[in-house]
Structure formats: C-alpha cells, structure tokens
C-alpha cells in the first residue's frame, strides 16, 4: 500500500530533480505541440488528435524516465473502440487527463471554461473537439453537455467525464455531479467506468511525483437505456469507490 496517512509525514524519497525535469519537459513540449496544432487547424480532426495523443504518450514516457512512475491497466477487454461510450473516471491528478488518451479510444473531453484562459495550451484544446462548460451557468452547462456530448458520441467519439468535477485527494471519491449521468440517460450510450490510484504517486496540485506503478481498472460497460440519471450515478460511484478500496 502506497497511500500516505494525512496525519503522518510522507517519508518517501523526494525526487526534486526528476520532478523539475518533467515539469520543464511538459511545459516546453506542450508549447511546441500547441503551435503545431494551430498551424494544422485546417487539417482533419484525426490528424490533430493523433498529434495530441503522441504528445500524451511522450509525457507518460518522460514520467517513467524522470520520475520512475509507470502504470498497469486491467480490463482492456471491456473496450470496443468502434462502439462509442461515455467514460466515467475518478479524478485525482493531471496524470489521468493525459494517460486516458493513451490507452482509451479517441475521445472528446469535458472541460471547465477556465482552462481556455491558458494561452496556447487551453486554446489548442478547442481543436480536439473538447466540450467546454461554464460551471457558473449550471443550466446552460447541462444543456451544452447533453447536446455536444450526444453529437460527439454519434460521430463515433467517446466522451470523457470526471463526474466529481474537481480533483480529489488520494483514495478519496467526491460526490458525483449529475451532468454525465443525464448525458447517458438522454443519449442512451453506455458508461465505461474507470478507476485509478494516480493520487498516490502524482498528488493533486503537487510539484513532486513519486516512483511506483499506478493501477488502472476499466470496468464492464454499464447500460443506461431506460434508467434514471440518479440511479446511473449511484451504480457508477459505488463501483469506483469499491474498486479504489481494493487498490
């Protein structure tokens, strides 16, 4: 068990050099890739997505080289790329926002509007068919999620949602927002639940990254036809909590 008790000091070796190299590498390569995406704004989405996915693979590789942090995935047999679905994942760090593009099918991520304020990087996200929500306007955000999410799913893209809405602490699962479940209810597309323990090694808002192996589990698709959003949320949240406790 790698989890650190919040009431006791973290005695793991502090990898300041590796964490610094990773930060610099992410900053520099993201800038280059962002410029490339803007230069290719006219190109097919598939090419732009392939470039973004390559960058995500690069970051995950650099994380291994600089910080000794790897991952293993269980449940890949539950993925059928040609059958679009909604990904529900717990949210603990920046790691999963990158890694899920590496081993999951092509996807449109649901983002908060504030991310667009990041020069170049935030703007580049618009070129990847991201679904941008204004959380200050809850009714408008829900409408946009359902309309744009259904459109992306019908196009064959998967939709990535972090139903907690923000990053949780390691081993913690925050209450789910209803938006993703409403999208599932109204669109009829299944949910593929994903759980991981990235927060044990790449803590939220932390500069330091720790060596180890992040565990990821992909669950069997959960059917949503004819079900209430609240019922869907309860089932997925219970599955994620249960599986996280086993890690």
pLDDT at 1: 41
The rounded distance, in Å, linking the Cα atoms of 69 and 2 is 13
The rounded distance, in Å, linking the Cα atoms of 120 and 124 is 6
Distance between start and end Cα atoms, the chain:
8
CA dihedral 164, 216, 46, 128 (to 10 degrees): 20
With cut-offs at 50, 70 and 90, classify the pLDDT of residue 5: very low
Closest of 57, 56, 19, 23 to residue 211, by C-alpha: 19
The rounded distance, in Å, linking the Cα atoms of 247 and 240 is 11
With respect to CATH, is domain 70-246 assigned 3.10.450? no
The model's pTM is 0.91
Provide the mean pLDDT of the chain.
93
Q: What is the pLDDT of residues 197-239, one digit of tens each?
A: 999 999 998 899 999 999 999 999 999 999 999 999 999 999 9
More confident residue, 64 or 135: 64
Parse the chain into domains and list their residue ranges.
70-246
pLDDT at 9: 67
Largest Cα span, the chain: 53
Question: What average pLDDT score do residues 113-127 get?
Answer: 83
pLDDT at 124: 85
Question: What average pLDDT score do residues 19-27 get?
Answer: 96
């Amino acid at each position: 068990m790698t989890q650190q008790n919040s009431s006791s000091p973290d005695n793991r070796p502090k990898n300041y050099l590796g964490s610094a190299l990773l930060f610099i590498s992410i900053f520099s390569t993201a800038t280059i890739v962002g410029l490339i995406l803007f230069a290719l704004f006219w190109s097919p989405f598939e090419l732009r997505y392939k470039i973004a996915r390559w960058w995500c693979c690069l970051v995950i590789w650099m994380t291994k080289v600089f910080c000794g942090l790897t991952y293993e995935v269980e449940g890949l047999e539950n993925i059928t790329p040609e059958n679009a679905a909604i990904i529900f994942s717990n949210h603990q760090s920046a790691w999963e926002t990158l890694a899920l593009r590496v081993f999951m099918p092509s996807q449109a991520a649901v983002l908060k509007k504030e991310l667009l304020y990041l020069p170049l990087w935030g703007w580049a996200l618009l070129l990847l068919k991201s679904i941008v929500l204004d959380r200050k306007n809850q009714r408008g955000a829900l409408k946009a999620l359902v309309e744009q999410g259904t459109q992306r799913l019908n196009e064959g893209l998967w939709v990535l949602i972090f139903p907690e809405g923000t990053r949780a602490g390691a081993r913690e699962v925050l209450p789910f927002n209803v938006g993703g479940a409403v999208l599932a209810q109204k669109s009829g597309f299944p949910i593929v639940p994903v759980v991981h323990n990235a927060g044990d090694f790449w803590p939220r808002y932390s500069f330091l990254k720790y060596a180890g192996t992040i565990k990821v589990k992909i669950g069997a698709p959960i059917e949503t036809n004819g079900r209430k959003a609240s019922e869907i949320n309860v089932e997925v949240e219970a599955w994620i909590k249960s599986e996280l406790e086993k890690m």
